[in-house]
Amino acid sequence: MGARASAADEATDVASTPEPTTTFPAFPLVVLATAIVLAMIAFRRRWLALDGRPGLNWAASPMHLMGMCVATWLAGGVATLVAARALGLDGTIDPAALTVREMAIVTAAAMGAGMMAALGLLAWMRRMQVVPHTTAAPIRSIMSGVAMLMVWWPAIASAGWVAGQLQRAVTGIEPPSIGHSTLEQMVQGTRDAWWWLMGLSAVVLAPILEECLYRGFVQQALRRAGLGPWPAVLLASIVFTLMHVGSVPEGARAASLTSLAVLACCFGWLAERTGSLVAPIAAHVAFNLGNLVMATAFA
């Protein structure tokens, strides 16, 4: 009798236990709704239209621009190998296996060398008068870049969130809260001089290098090859996104790479709309700084 009662109790407990339900937090849904509203407003007011906008208006040929792109990549790659050899690292450099000190040195060397090469090439192009001097005030361009990033942010965040939800629904893999290997290293590291060097590389050096490289050389090579503003923006954004695959943990690729693609479109749109690289550099700096602050504050 006791055994039957115990079994009945267990059956009752199982029957009364509610099945787990999938719940969506309110904040991402609010951000998604905001993104949809902003997209509708942008479409109606033609904010995204780039026809008639100044663009960067560089006069260099597509081959010259792609050559400068390759030269910049090579400068960063050689600096990476030199830094790795100086640290005694052999073979493939795995960011997840590096200490904060090693990561800081390798990243600063790669970003610094690439940035100096890109800026040197831009200075030479300006001297050769194939890159016009911008007439926009730098402060105004910086403010425009940061302001437009805030307008684009709901779309950037929502794109990653939706991709992460689809990944979880299809594969059952939960996207990690941090979707970049550099951020993972910095969250786990101590706040020493190497930590600050890596932060400087991520927040300042990387945005300058990448905007010169992708919105400058790659996007303008596509424009000079005859593509319209948005096709050039989209293709340059795809290149930008694919070049970041190795920096994103495998479980975070759906969400992070989707967000990066939308973010890259924001930067490319800014370059075409303002006719300057200052605005996308400012937006890129603001984005990386915001990610770093949030990751280290809430980890």
Share of the chain above pLDDT 70, in %: 90
Q: For 35-39, 52-56, 190-194, which range has the lowest pLDDT when averaged over its residues?
A: 52-56
- At residue 96 the predicted structure's pLDDT band, cuts being 50, 70 and 90, is low
Q: How confident is the model at residue 4 (pLDDT cuts 50, 70, 90)?
A: very low
Give the length of the chain: 299
Residue 143 to residues 2, 48, 110, 183, 298: CA-CA distances in angstroms? 75, 18, 28, 26, 27
pLDDT at 157: 95
| pLDDT given for residue 68 in this prediction | 96
More confident residue, 136 or 203: 203
pLDDT of residue 218: 97
Residue 284's identity, in one-letter code, is H
Q: Per mean pLDDT, which range of 4-18, 66-80, 85-99, 229-243 is the poorest?
A: 4-18
Considering only CA atoms, which of 135, 119, 139, 137 is closest in space to residue 127? 119
- 149 φ/ψ angles, rounded to the nearest 5 degrees: -60, -40
Contact indicator for 262, 161 with CB cutoff of 8 Å: no
Higher-confidence residue: 256 or 21? 256
What pTM value is reported for the model?
A: 0.89
Q: What is the mean pLDDT of residues 18-45?
A: 82
Q: DSSP assignment, residue 92? A: S
For 105, other C-beta atoms within 10 Å of its C-beta total 21
The pLDDT-based confidence of 23 (bands split at 50, 70, 90) is low
Which spans in the chain are helix H? Answer: 2-16, 26-45, 62-86, 100-127, 138-171, 181-188, 193-200, 206-210, 219-224, 229-242, 253-274, 278-298
Give the Cα separation of 79 and 210 in Å (integer).
16
Task: Determine the Cα–Cα distance for residues 116 and 214; give it in Å rounded to an integer.
Answer: 15
Which of 77-86, 89-98, 105-114, 220-229 is the least confident region?
89-98
The mean pLDDT of the chain is: 87
| Residue ranges in 172-252 assigned as alpha helix (H) | 181-188, 193-200, 206-210, 219-224, 229-242
- Is the model's pLDDT at 67 over the cut of 80? yes
Section 115-134 average pLDDT: 91
Which of 83, 63, 70, 62 lies closest to 118, judged by CA?
Answer: 70
Residue 147 has pLDDT above 90, yes or no: yes
